[in-house]
A and B are shown apart, each in its own frame.
Chain A
Amino acid sequence: MSDGGQKRDSGRGREEEPEEQVDTDAETEASAKDLIDDVDDLLDEIDDVLEENAEEFVRGYVQKGGQ
C-alpha cells in the first residue's frame, strides 16, 4: 500500500528526471523487501486488533434501516 501523496511525487519525479531512474538492482530489491516487511507488520497488527469472533460478530451485525 502506498501513501497517495508520496506516490504522486515519485510519479512526477519520473517524468521530469528520467535519468534518475538508474536504481541498482540491489536498491530496488531492498525497497521491495521493506515494502513487504511493512505489509507483514500491518497484517500482524490487523490480526491483533481484529474482532476475535469474526464469524459471530459479522453474523450478528444487523442494522435497522435508515435513510
Chain B
Amino acid sequence: MATPKYVGVETEYGIAVDGPTEVNPVLASSLVVGAYRDPGDRDVGWDHTDEHPLRDARGYEAPDPHEPVVDDELGLANTVLTNGARFYVDHAHPEYATPECSNARDLVIWDKAGERILEDAAARAAGTLPAGSRVLVHKNNTDGKGAAYGTHENYLVPREVPFGHLTRQLLPFFVSRLLYVGAGRLGSELSDEVPFQLSQRADFFEVEVGLETTLKRPLMNTRDEPHADPDRYRRLHVINGDANLCEVATFLKVGTMLLILDLIEDGALPAVPALAEPVTAFHEVSHDLTGTRPLRLEDGSTATALEIQRRYLEACQRYVKDRDRDLDPVTAEVLERWEAVLATADDDPRGLAGQVDWATKLELLESYRVRHDLDWTADQLKMVDLQYHDVRRDKGLYHRLAARGRIERLVDEAEIIAATERPPVDTRAWFRGECIRRFRRSIVAAGWDSLIFDVGGEALQRVPMMEPGRGTREAVGDLLDSVADPQELLRRLTA
C-alpha cells in the first residue's frame, strides 16, 4: 500500500516595472515581497540548516560552480506566510512556494492563493515607487527572448523507490503530459517554423537527467534535498512543467503525478514505452498541436503523446480498481477529468480551450489575429500572449475569460482568498502557518522542516518538523489552542 504523498509547487513570477524610474528586477522583486506584510511586522527569515541543493539523487555531492548564495546575506526579501507558504526573491523573480498539500485540489487552492498574493503585493509595491509607476507580475515561464524561469513541482516519495526507476517510469510521462500541462507560447527558441507551441518551457530543456536547474536543464532533475527525514524520504523535484492559470491544468498536473507515484511505489506501473530520444520528443510534442506526431521508441516502433498518456491512464484505472478500499473523491475526480481531457484531445486538442492554458490562449490568439488581420509574429499578438498571464484580475486576459464564464473553475474564490491567510489543515504547513500567525514576534526563521524561536533565553530554539504529515490541525490544534505563549508551547513540545 502506497504511503501518503505530499506536494508543493514553487513558481518564479515574471516581473516588469513601468514608470518614470528604472528599477532592476532584483530590487523590484524585493519590493514586491517586502510590500506584502503588515506595517511593523518583520520578515520571518529562512532556516538554511538542512538545505543541500547540490546533493545528487544519484549518490554524490556535486562540486558545482553555481554555489547558491544565501539570500539573507544579500539582504533579499524572504518571508514565510501565515498560510504556510514561502514568499521570497529568487533569481531576480518574486517566488511563491505553496505550503505542503496532501492532494491536488488543495494544491490548486494554495497555488491560486499565490496569484492573489502576488497581485496584492505588486499593487502595494507600486505604491512605494514614484508616482506613475506600475509593477506588473506575470505567472509565466519565459519572456520569449531566451530567458526561462521555473515552476517546480515537489513530491514526497519514499527513499526506497530507486531514483533510476523513477526516471525510467516518468520520462515518457513528462514528455506526453504537455498536452494538458503546457501553458502555450508564440514562437520557439529552436525554430522559426513554429508559430505557436504547447509549452512555455520545453525549448529550454537540453538533457535527460541532471542536477542543474538554470543551465542545461534536465527533464529529470536529480536534486536530492528532501526537506524531510532523509533516511525515509526523497523529494522528487520536477522542473519541466509550466505555470498554469487554468485550475483544471494544475489539478491534472499534480493529481496525475500523485497517483502515478503511488503506482510506482507499489510496483503497479507496467513497463512504459521507452522513448529513444526523450529530449527531442519533448520538443516535438510541444511543437505539435495535434498530439498525434509519432515519437521514436527504443524498440524501433513509435507512439504518439496521446497513446502514451492513455497507457498511464489505463494503468492508473486498473490500479484503483484493484485496490480494495474506497477511492477518495479527489483521486476519483483526477481520473475522470484525465480521461475526459484525453478523449477531447483525441477528437481535437484545441477543444481543450477553457480547461488547459495553451488551448485557451491559442483560441484567443486566433480570434484576435483574425479580427485585426495580424501576422503570427505581430507585437499585438505577443502582447495578448503575455497579458494572458497577468495576475491582475481586471487586466489579465485569463481572468477576463474566466469572468465571462469561459474557463472551467474547480474551486471557489472564497476558498482561494481564505488560503492567502490560512494553511492547509492536514500537513505540517498547519503548524508552521499557525505558529507564525500566533507567535510571529518570537519566530526568527522558518524552513520547510523547522521553526526557530527566540523566546528570550540564552539560545534560539529550533523545532524540527521532519515529517510532512505531522503538525496537522488534528494532531496539534488542541495544543496550540491551549498554550498561552510560545514559551509554554516549547516547554510542552519538549516535555
Could you list which residues of chain A lie within 8 angstroms of chain B, going by C-beta atoms? 1-5, 7-8, 38-39, 41-43, 45-46, 49-51, 54-55, 57-67
Contact = CB atoms under 8 A, between A and B. Distances in A.
Given A50-B387, A67-B152, A1 B353 contact: yes
Contact of A66 (B16, B149, B360): B149
Interface in B397-422: 397, 400-401, 404-408
A58 B214 contact: no
Interface in B60-109: 90-93
* A42, A50, A64, A67 pick with most chain B CB within 10 angstroms: A67
17 contacts: A1-B401, A3-B406, A4-B248, A8-B344, A43-B367, A43-B368, A43-B371, A49-B394, A50-B383, A50-B397, A54-B383, A62-B147, A63-B143, A63-B149, A64-B26, A65-B148, A66-B93
B387 to A, nearest CB: 6
A2 B239 CA distance: 31
A46 B364 CA distance: 10
Contact of B360 (A1, A43, A50, A63): A1
A45 B367 CA distance: 13
Given A1-B364, A43-B367, A66 B355 contact: no
A28 B25 CA distance: 52
Contact of B354 (A1, A45, A62): A1
Contacts of B401: 1, 42
B56 interface: no
Contacts, number: 125
Given A49-B394, A58-B386, A67-B239, 15 more contacts: A1-B367, A2-B353, A3-B354, A7-B344, A46-B397, A50-B397, A51-B383, A51-B387, A57-B383, A62-B147, A63-B14, A64-B26, A64-B92, A66-B91, A67-B90
A4 B247 CA distance: 12
A62 B383 CA distance: 13
A61 B143 contact: yes
Contact of A54 (B91, B354, B382): B382
Tell me the interface secondary structure of chain B in the complex.
mixed
A2 B354 contact: yes
Interface of B: 12, 14-16, 18, 25-26, 90-93, 142-145, 147-150, 152, 213-214, 239, 248, 340, 344, 351-355, 360, 363-364, 367-368, 371, 379-380, 382-384, 386-387, 394-395, 397, 400-401, 404-408
B94 to A, nearest CB: 11
B408 A4 contact: yes
B44 to A, nearest CB: 23
A54 B25 CA distance: 20
Contacts of A39: 367
A64 B91 contact: yes
Q: Which among A41, A59, A62 has the greatest number of chain B C-beta atoms within 10 A? A: A62
Contacts of B406: 1-3, 42
A65 B149 contact: yes
B379 A59 contact: yes
B379 A61 contact: no
Counting chain A CB atoms within 10 Å of each CB, the highest count among B92, B395, B408 belongs to B408
Nearest to A12: B340
Given A1-B406, A7-B351, A49 B91 contact: no
Given A3-B408, A49-B397, A8 B340 contact: yes
Contact of A62 (B143, B379, B397): B143
B143 A50 contact: no
A41 B404 CA distance: 10
Contacts of B12: 66-67
B380 A50 contact: yes
B11 to A, nearest CB: 10
A66 B71 CA distance: 15
Contact of B149 (A3, A50, A54, A67): A67
Contacts of B355: 4
A62 B91 contact: no
Contacts of A66: 12, 90-93, 147-150, 214
A8 B150 CA distance: 32
A62 B405 CA distance: 32
Contacts of B368: 43, 46
Contact of B214 (A2, A38, A41, A65): A65
A38 B143 CA distance: 31
A60 B145 CA distance: 10
A5 B368 CA distance: 24
